[in-house]
Amino acid sequence: MPNNSLITLLGTDLTTNNVGREVERPTHAQTPIEKKINYQLLYKMVESSVEEILLEYPDDPIVVKLKEKLLTNLKPVIKQILPTE
C-alpha cells in the first residue's frame, strides 16, 4: 500500500497536533441561529417516502388500509370533479 493513500493521509492528519487550527464554537451571544422549517420540502419528503412504500409493498395489509382510507376521503372530491352523467 503506498504511503500517500487517502487512509494514511487522513490518519496522519487526524493524529498530528492541530495547535492553532482549532475552530471556536460560536456562543449564543455571538450569533443567534434562526431555525425555520421548510414545510413544503418536509411535505415533499414525506410524500416521496409514502409513495415508495405504496409502490414497494402494494399487497401489505397496512398499504391496503391506507389506499381504502384515501379513496374514502377523496370520494367527495372526485364526485365533484367528474361528471355525473
Per residue in 30-51, pLDDT tens? 556 667 888 888 899 999 999 9
Name the domain count of the chain. 1
Does residue 80 lie in a domain region?
yes
3-state secondary structure the chain: CCCCCHHHHHHHHHHCCCCCCCCCCCCCCCCCCCCCCCHHHHHHHHHHHHHHHHHHCCCCHHHHHHHHHHHHHHHHHHHHHCCCC
> Which residues lie closer than 8 Å to 57 by C-beta, 6 or more apart?
63
The pTM assigned to this predicted structure is 0.44
Does residue 64 lie in a domain region?
yes
Query: Across residues 10-29, what is the average pLDDT?
Result: 61
- Cα separation, 58 vs 51, whole angstroms: 10
Structural domain containing residue 84: 56-85
Does residue 79 lie in a domain region?
yes
